[in-house]
Amino acid sequence: MENNAVLVLADGTVLEGEGFGSQETAEGEVVFNTSMTGYQEALTDPSYKYQILLMTYPLIGNYGVRGEDFESSGIQAEGLVIRELNSNTRDSRRKNNLDGFLKEYNIPGIQGVDTRFLTRKIRTHGVLNGILKYPYEEKELEDLKEKASRLEDISELDLVDMVSTKEVVRHDAGGGKSVVLIDCGVKNSIMRLLMEREVNVIQVPAKTPVKEIMDLEPDGILVSNGPGDPQKPSYVIESIKKLVQEELPMFGICLGLQLISIAYGAGTYKLKFGHRGSNHPVKDLKTGRAHITSQNHGFAVDSETLPEELEVSHISLNDRSVEGVTHKELPVSAVQYHPEGHPGPWYNYYLFDEFVASLK
């Protein structure tokens, strides 16, 4: 293996490996995902904006890339870090292999890295900013270390505005009900599951004024997932404050939960290394059942700051953090995990059924 690529962390750690994908430089927060599959869905998830994705499973790329598994228009993560690349593309259903996929979207990757060491480091010290450079020269290392130490913190950036749609997009399912989806970085599978339930989806930019949203005559509101610090897109928070007064059914997913909670007065905090994977256990406090869930978030709602109107409906069985909230009187609810489970378990689809039922 030729060590022609490097990952440099903000604390000065240097990890050399073999580059693949596009010969580029990536900057951002280095985070890990524990899923054994789903690298394509993760790479195209807008929630990974300004993040360099580390997959902990040692063999990545073995089932190629398929067009129907995109979660957005292209790769959203800044770079990819893996242990070993497999570029098998013998299955005719595959559109591309992982190396070619990264090349198509000008994204660099590095393999041959000790991903166990890097994952343990992040778990111990918390997420770190970093720079992935392919190719690189030894004489660049000191400059890369200095530059990595000065990268902007993710909380300083309004990433929602970067990934949100710039125009209203109508997705007609031929149904009698319509949901306005406030796009903070939505995954395609969320819209697909609503449409499978014959709900028309009107995807609007995150900065859409409330009057324009209400002029669309929605039967409900969905606040989507998305990247970054939930305190940053204040314009969405202000919209939610006004929209809840309309008493329409409202459902939030991931970042959507955080934004709804903040709109009611709750606080949030940054998790040490986040929840990213497809096997996170969550307890439903109403039924007592445990669910295995797909997750991708680096911030959480502080349960001690929840206002009287909201109550915790779900908690993480790993760290007891908030995984769901519901309003005590209004048809407003949200979950921190991803019920669309793409990748991940599919049995959390019932949450879409409940939301659609509330529209009637």
pLDDT at 294 over 90: yes
94 band by pLDDT with thresholds 50, 70 and 90: low
Do the beta carbons of residue 109 and residue 79 sit within 8 Å?
yes
Single residue among 114, 129, 152 that ends a domain in this structure: 152
Q: Are residues 332 and 212 in the same domain?
A: yes
338 is known as an active-site residue = yes
**Residue 89: its pLDDT value, please?**
59
Single residue among 127, 152, 177 that ends a domain in this structure: 152
Q: Are residues 166 and 294 in the same domain?
A: yes
Tell me what the mean pLDDT of segment 172-179 comes to: 96
- The catalytic residue among 41, 254, 275, 280 is 254
CATH number at residue 68: 3.50.30.20
Say what angle helices 234-243 and 255-263 make with each other, to 10 degrees.
70
CATH number at residue 213: 3.40.50.880
Measure the CA–CA gap between 13 and 25, rounded to whole angstroms.
17
Q: Closest by alpha carbon to 65, among 47, 44, 51, 50?
A: 44
Q: Are residues 22 and 112 in the same domain?
A: yes
- The dihedrals phi and psi of 137, each to the nearest 5 degrees, come to -125, 150
DSSP code of residue 260: H
Do the beta carbons of residue 255 and residue 297 sit within 8 Å?
yes
Measure the CA–CA gap between 117 and 96, rounded to whole angstroms.
30
- Which domain covers residue 220, as residue numbers? 159-359
Q: Are residues 190 and 313 in the same domain?
A: yes
Q: Are residues 143 and 57 in the same domain?
A: yes
- The catalytic residue among 280, 291, 314, 338 is 338
Average pLDDT, the chain: 96
Q: Are residues 181 and 123 in the same domain?
A: no
The amino acid at residue 167 is E
- The catalytic residue among 24, 29, 78, 340 is 340
**Residue 3: its pLDDT value, please?**
87
pLDDT digits (tens, 9 = 90+) for 36-54: 999 999 999 999 999 999 9
Q: Are residues 248 and 311 in the same domain?
A: yes
Q: 101 or 89: whose pLDDT is higher?
A: 101
340 is known as an active-site residue = yes
Number of domains in the chain: 2
Single residue among 152, 187, 203 that ends a domain in this structure: 152
Q: Are residues 217 and 338 in the same domain?
A: yes
Q: Are residues 205 and 183 in the same domain?
A: yes
184 is known as an active-site residue = no
Say what angle helices 350-359 and 188-196 make with each other, to 10 degrees.
60
Count of residues for the chain? 360
Measure the CA–CA gap between 225 and 75, rounded to whole angstroms.
16
**Residue 301: its pLDDT value, please?**
98
Q: Are residues 81 and 132 in the same domain?
A: yes
Do the beta carbons of residue 258 and residue 306 sit within 8 Å?
no
Measure the CA–CA gap between 106 and 75, rounded to whole angstroms.
9
Q: Are residues 143 and 169 in the same domain?
A: no
Tell me what the mean pLDDT of segment 289-300 comes to: 98
Q: Are residues 203 and 135 in the same domain?
A: no
Tell me what the mean pLDDT of segment 9-36 comes to: 98
